[in-house]
Structure 1
Amino acid sequence: MNIQDRILDFMSKQAYKPLTVDDLLKVLEIESDEKHILVDLLDKMEEEGLVIKNRRGCYGVPERMGMSTGRLQGHAKGFAFLIPDNPTQEDVYISASDLKGAMNNDKVMVRIFKKTDGRRRSGEVFKILERANKKIVGNYEASRNFGFVVVDDKRISHDVFIPKSQNKGAKEGQKVVVEITKWPEKRRNPEGKVIEVLGYKGEAGVDIEAIIKKLELPEGFPADVINEVEAIPESISESEIARRRDLRTLKMVTIDGEDAKDFDDAVSIEKLNEEEIRLGVHIADVTHYVKEGSPLNTEAFNRATSIYLVDRVIPMLPEKLSNNMCSLRSDGDRLAMSVLMDFNKNTGELLDHEIIESVIRVNHRLTYNKVNSMLIDKDQTLIDEYEDMIEDLRLMGKFSKTLRRKRFEAGSIDFDFPEAKIILDDEGKPVDIVKVDRGISEKMIEDFMITTNEVVAEDMYHREIPFIYRVHEQPSSEKLEDLNSFIHNLGYHIKGLKGDEVHPKALQNILEKVKGQAEERVVNTVLLRSMQQAHYSPYNIGHFGLASQYYSHFTSPIRRYPDLMIHRIIKEVIKDGFLSEKRINKLTKKLPNIADHSSVQERKAMDAEYESLDLKKVEYMQDKKGEQYEGIISSVMSFGFFVELDNTVEGLVHVSAMRDDYYHYYEDQHAFIGERTGNTYQLGDKVKIEVAKINLEDKQIDFDLVVE
């Protein structure tokens, strides 16, 4: 255990009061002539929010001094929530007046208030540890002597003041990128300077470009990264093949979407005997090409994830790697990390497993549509074309159902909401929106990847290796209470709810009971919104939604940095069977930052992906004004309710557009009820609407109710 860990361990578990430097010298048995080294370390730890120094010069850990550290999640109304670094702690509500100039995504330390209502934790920002919004995108508004930028990200409630000399010639109504020069203070907006003018809002390509700029990610790669990639030989050396398990004679396929270009995973299956099968999941060995400490690795870490916008991909790795050398294409030998798992084919029980470095050769590049056509539609032409794999595919399809049944019996929660794919023309204009259904092949690959992620995580956990887990906490006690109250009105209740503890099986049981019922949609929606957000952590607390005690992200190292990082760790472990103490200490220091950064980047990427989809959906509806559709009430707010159409487009029915009565909002029922008529509009109800107004700038569609 290094000195920093010893300090934190002692302060967390043994110290009964904050400690002076001299106290720590004594406890840690450090010579007095090394006091300056300890002081420097404590200063660094204080900067990072690991310890707090009080007014008397004594040090303690935040949680024992009424503090919590984490990331802020802002809200358009000005308040925010702290998402604590410690995954076992509840979120903390922070009012706008208690933010002390902190903004969305900033890393902060918060002082926790004593609870007065017995429900929600609240607090105030004590210290800002790291600023997240150094550059901001928004719309420029000009006046005679200065300007303002209205920020696109609604979770940042401040407009940014721009001195006239710093506007870079921006005109009223243009979309700009701003660099913050002064952070907000009480009663004072942040100040900045325009560093790039993207163009007038509404111009072709400007809105998507604004989304990209908001991520602060370059579209191209730096020269040193390109040079490094170009120098990587495309052929695999004989010495590299010789030191790996040769699986080139093992039949395997990739199964992906029609337009996929980066193939992370291939799958194989072997019948060992009448009772046992061996499932092989073979993942691209990206770490063979992306070396720790290299410019390529630094760039991959900074990006942390590939971003899939509606009209383009911003990859984590350059195309030569992501679409070629690392991609498991069916045109030659590829390097892989293979997980070979032996199962009882009837029960899904894992009997044995092995994680190895391998060299593989994919037999076929299959698509979800082709596999569904073979396994569901019995397409004889395709069956004949892939006769060498059809029996394996049938066995995979059958076994995936066994794995899925086993997972659901354990309590895994499965939300089957439809996804939308937007069809663009050659100019990037949306011409259609189609719903994408999950067939047997999509579910099969999902089952195999989830199982592999569980097996890998459990293996490394039991070896006591520093690792990055994919974790998911159970819903907060407040959200569980609200959920239980709501479904009680519909005749359901959560079994086994004890205080703030619930087993995921209890929630899965609710989903099973409402399946096919009129209230299915509303219960699914409310249950989904009660869930926490999954994230990365060096601490294993399990994955509530999947009912997994151990879970990781191992299967997509081409597009996710945490996967790449744990591949690196696993390769070191399987090579020697252990890690040196020096390496363990290094990883223990690094992994919290990697997990935190990856979680932040993932949220940014998801926001950008949803935003680009919403933009194109609104654009698609621009010429639909006056048209009528049927839809389902997908969300109810105090100001009105949102209706989702069959093509997944959402629009708002404002309370002012409900003209046949005075309607009152009932939050606990997720409903509006008419004062005179008693008419009710509740989450999940079917309604008929007319498209009333399209606002491309705000990405908003207004609907009017059609009352018949």
Structure 2
Amino acid sequence: MDQTFEKRKKVIYGFICDDLYVPMKIKEIAVILQIPKEQRQELKEVLDALVEEGKISVSKKGKYIKGGAKHLTGTFQANARGFGFVVQENDTEDIFISEENIGGAFQGDEVEFIILKAPEGRRREGKIIKVLSHATVKVVGLYEKSRNFGFVRPDNQRVLKDIYIPAGKEMGAMTGHKVVVELTSYGGQDMKPEGKIIEIIGHVNDPGTDILSIVKEYDLPVEFPEKVLNQAVRAGKEVSGADMEGRLDLRGWQMVTIDGEDAKDLDDAVSLTCDGENYCLGVHIADVSNYVQERSALDKEALKRGTSVYLADRVIPMLPHTLSNGICSLNAGENRLALSCIMTINPKGEVVDHQIAETVICVNERMTYTAVAAILDEADTEEKGQYRKRYAALVPMFERMAVLSAILRKRRHARGSIDFDFPETKVVLDNAGVPLDIQPYERNAATKIIEDFMLLANETVAEEYFWREQPFLYRTHEPPEEEKIKRLSTFINNFGYHIHVGNEVRPKEVQKLLAKVEGTPEETLISRLALRSMKQARYTPENTGHFGLAAKYYTHFTSPIRRYPDLQIHRIIKENIRGRMTLERTEHYEKLLPDVALQTSDRERRAEEAERETVKLKKVEYMKQHIGEEYEGVISGITKWGAYVELPNTVEGLVHVTNMKDDHYEYWEERYELVGVHTQNVYKLGQTVRVRVIGADRLQRTIDFAFAEEEWE
């Protein structure tokens, strides 16, 4: 190996092209060619060069093969730090793409690529050869004007380059305007993308511009077409005698809605009585399908939206307010049309009988989670006394509900249902959208009651329609990929934990792991990594079960005001109840449902991402008001670039290693610790620390902390 690099390449290439050559790993090539260990790095460089030139290729198992690299296709996912990954539909492992090998690809682009490296036990690396189709057409960002041109800094950190705006294409925008840019050129490796401004959202400091920018970034439809609004007004008439005809009349039943204080679209009511030792639970859902007819303008718009979107300062509803807050909302004291699932449940929590029926109901009271939780509180508080007196007639039912909820929860836990109990964030805003407080949204006895009852209704409906063998939409959650569970298993071994990895991982194994880490310093990290190892739940016309809930049958039946799949299955259920599920209608739904499943799954992911981004934004805005203040928090993550610290209010920030002024810290990967070289000071997972807020970047949506000085004493 003392020849020039080019000569070495020629020798190795000749060896691999020999007729007797079989695919080999680098060690095998070195042994056959009698290359000493100290020169194997040079051999690797030669092989990598040949792969990059397309003369040879490397297999998934790291073996070097004759012939040019196979051209593969996938979807590019960019990372804010400049690199990215290509995701292939039928491959369990993403391919890493370094910054120099992105080839001008944008987030979401369909790309053609080759594999450059496939090191054993590590992620494969690739190079993008060609962009097949662009997914990004419009970009939202901050405009900055120069003398003869301008540029836009994208809000989406996955759009890795600023957008160049030529003179005359800025639409009158000035520095500081948030804008929507239509891309006219995607640039290349050394060229910026180019675009023209098509909308000015507002100045970055104007109230509401921040959230509206996210609305535009995710292309969320805000205004309803006039035709849809007019149809909603015509449909939203009071319940008449003709509407109630043929329905099961439950207006004499004691029932309530239980929701948050701010909720306006009340789509589920509950009732509970006892029959001997059994419970009779009624879950009564607004009959939205009575007002939104299939293929109508209302229906097409609802499918286009797929779901209501709950942002920090506003709701973008799936249906116009005339319906969602009006005739479809189960308002107390008003006759309402419903689809009811009435279940008989034995003391073990088993559903021994059930009926799904079209009903007419009249809710007794509009209850809040706060009021019901206070009524059920074990402690004798003044608030509890006031609520129990005010709702005295309903108190026995709430007490029965708490007992049944505990039975159902225990039964679900016994079968292996996984509960990732991360606190959600509650953002308190003033009228101008400025965050006044950030709090963890705690689950209480009342939220658990509704959760348990809705889960049971969803399972009961799904099971019936599975065995009816009729077209249906299910909410499915597939088991995690074996490779991801193996990686999780390797990771948790560092902390002394074990998860059984066999032919198929079972929900019970994940549940046991979460129970073991509960209350430990590493609980948050391991719980989050376990969650990331799971697949995303989605809608499908086939029932494959729900891994996370350890349920054989599951659907979404309980929220037709805000979720299209629920509305869709209500139509199927009603056609079945009325005996109208003919062969023709069966074929109609079999053709329709796959597209509905794909569309609604996609819209759900879009809504979740937009909701997450608004919460991140408001957290940054809130902490920007508290620069210089100190807080106590817990180290929730350790990386080579610093320590992530989570505060009790759910805000998370980064203490970057460059802001650890007392020492130079090194990352000990095997122990997940940052250790000071001179002081031997250690920062580790779960450690309680005191931090000072030193920065909050609204554009990057990041928060920076520094350890308070007493941490170094």
Name the TM tier (shorter chain): 0.7 to 0.9
State the Cα deviation string for residues 450-503 of structure 1 (Å, max 9, x = none). 111222222222223333222223333343233223322322211x3215x311
Equivalent of 1:414, from 413, 419, 422?
Answer: 419
CA displacement at 1:414 relative to structure 2: 1.0
Q: Report what 1:204 is aligned to.
A: 207
State the Cα deviation string for residues 319-339 of structure 1 (Å, max 9, x = none). 111111111111311111111
> Does residue 431 of structure 2 align to residue 426 of structure 1?
yes
Q: Report what 2:361 is aligned to.
A: 360
Verify the 8 A CA contact 1:413 1:505 in the aligned structure 2.
Answer: yes
State the Cα deviation string for residues 383-414 of structure 1 (Å, max 9, x = none). 23222222111111101111111111111111
Equivalent of 1:450, from 448, 455, 458?
Answer: 455
Verify the 8 A CA contact 1:453 1:552 in the aligned structure 2.
Answer: yes
Residues 518/637 of structure 1: CA separation in 2 closer, same or farther (3 Å cut): closer
Q: Report what 1:160 is aligned to.
A: 163
Once the two structures are superposed, the pairs formed by residues 411-560 of structure 1 within 5 Å of their partners are 411-494=416-499, 496-498=500-502, 501-560=504-563
Once the two structures are superposed, the pairs formed by residues 53-202 of structure 1 within 5 Å of their partners are 73-76=77-80, 77-82=82-87, 84=89, 90=92, 92-93=94-95, 95=97, 103-105=106-108, 117=120, 132-183=135-186, 189-202=192-205
**Distance in 1, Cα, partners of 2:266 & 2:209:** 31
Matching residue's letter, 2:162? D
Q: Report what 1:665 is aligned to.
A: 667
Residues 255/432 of structure 1: CA separation in 2 closer, same or farther (3 Å cut): same
CA displacement at 1:244 relative to structure 2: 1.6
Verify the 8 A CA contact 1:554 1:563 in the aligned structure 2.
Answer: yes
State the Cα deviation string for residues 39-63 of structure 1 (Å, max 9, x = none). xxxxxxxxxxxxxxxxxxxxxxxxx
CA displacement at 1:94 relative to structure 2: 5.8
Residues 229/145 of structure 1: CA separation in 2 closer, same or farther (3 Å cut): same
Q: Which runs of 5+ in 1 are unaligned?
A: 1-64
Residues 533/257 of structure 1: CA separation in 2 closer, same or farther (3 Å cut): same
Verify the 8 A CA contact 2:97 2:128 in the aligned structure 1.
Answer: no
CA displacement at 1:241 relative to structure 2: 0.8
Q: Which runs of 5+ in 2 are unaligned?
A: 1-69
Verify the 8 A CA contact 1:264 1:555 in the aligned structure 2.
Answer: yes
Matching residue's letter, 1:310? A
> Does residue 296 of structure 2 align to residue 263 of structure 1?
no
SS at match of 1:591: helix
CA displacement at 1:551 relative to structure 2: 1.7
Q: Report what 2:633 is aligned to.
A: 631
CA displacement at 1:72 relative to structure 2: 5.6
Residues 667/575 of structure 1: CA separation in 2 closer, same or farther (3 Å cut): farther
Q: Report what 2:688 is aligned to.
A: 686
Q: Report what 1:382 is aligned to.
A: 387
CA-based RMSD: 2.9
Verify the 8 A CA contact 1:202 1:696 in the aligned structure 2.
Answer: no
Deviates more, 1:541-550 or 1:407-416: 541-550
Verify the 8 A CA contact 1:634 1:684 in the aligned structure 2.
Answer: yes
Residues 525/215 of structure 1: CA separation in 2 closer, same or farther (3 Å cut): closer
State the Cα deviation string for residues 425-458 of structure 1 (Å, max 9, x = none). 2332222223222111111111111111222222
Residues 548/125 of structure 1: CA separation in 2 closer, same or farther (3 Å cut): farther
Verify the 8 A CA contact 1:654 1:702 in the aligned structure 2.
Answer: yes
Matching residue's letter, 1:631? G
> Does residue 241 of structure 2 align to residue 229 of structure 1?
no
State the Cα deviation string for residues 31-84 of structure 1 (Å, max 9, x = none). xxxxxxxxxxxxxxxxxxxxxxxxxxxxxxxxxx99887x66443234135374
Residues 188/473 of structure 1: CA separation in 2 closer, same or farther (3 Å cut): farther
Deviates more, 1:162-171 or 1:263-272: 162-171
Residues 258/146 of structure 1: CA separation in 2 closer, same or farther (3 Å cut): same
SS at match of 1:165: coil
CA displacement at 1:283 relative to structure 2: 0.9
TM-score by length of 2: 0.82
**Distance in 1, Cα, partners of 2:85 & 2:667:** 24
State the Cα deviation string for residues 253-290 of structure 1 (Å, max 9, x = none). 1000111111111111121222x212111111111111
CA displacement at 1:518 relative to structure 2: 4.2
Equivalent of 1:605, from 589, 604, 607?
Answer: 607
**Distance in 1, Cα, partners of 2:120 & 2:512:** 32
**Distance in 1, Cα, partners of 2:204 & 2:261:** 33
**Distance in 1, Cα, partners of 2:253 & 2:434:** 44
Verify the 8 A CA contact 1:120 1:478 in the aligned structure 2.
Answer: no
**Distance in 2, Cα, partners of 1:609 & 1:644:** 20
> Does residue 410 of structure 2 align to residue 401 of structure 1?
no
Residues 144/593 of structure 1: CA separation in 2 closer, same or farther (3 Å cut): farther
SS at match of 1:166: coil
Residues 126/241 of structure 1: CA separation in 2 closer, same or farther (3 Å cut): farther
SS at match of 2:235: coil
Q: Report what 1:347 is aligned to.
A: 348
Q: Report what 1:19 is aligned to.
A: none
Equivalent of 1:588, from 576, 587, 590?
Answer: 590
Deviates more, 1:529-538 or 1:698-707: 529-538
Deviates more, 1:364-373 or 1:541-550: 541-550
**Distance in 2, Cα, partners of 1:568 & 1:190:** 47
CA displacement at 1:560 relative to structure 2: 1.2
The aligned length equals: 635
Verify the 8 A CA contact 2:207 2:432 in the aligned structure 1.
Answer: no
Q: Report what 1:57 is aligned to.
A: none
Matching residue's letter, 1:659? K
Verify the 8 A CA contact 2:236 2:326 in the aligned structure 1.
Answer: no
**Distance in 2, Cα, partners of 1:109 & 1:290:** 43
Q: Report what 2:34 is aligned to.
A: none
Q: Report what 1:562 is aligned to.
A: 565
Matching residue's letter, 1:284? A
Q: Report what 1:252 is aligned to.
A: 255
Verify the 8 A CA contact 2:672 2:685 in the aligned structure 1.
Answer: yes
CA displacement at 1:516 relative to structure 2: 3.2
Matching residue's letter, 1:351? V
Residues 469/679 of structure 1: CA separation in 2 closer, same or farther (3 Å cut): farther
Verify the 8 A CA contact 2:73 2:88 in the aligned structure 1.
Answer: no
CA displacement at 1:188 relative to structure 2: 5.2
SS at match of 2:168: helix
**Distance in 1, Cα, partners of 2:551 & 2:457:** 12
**Distance in 1, Cα, partners of 2:120 & 2:571:** 48
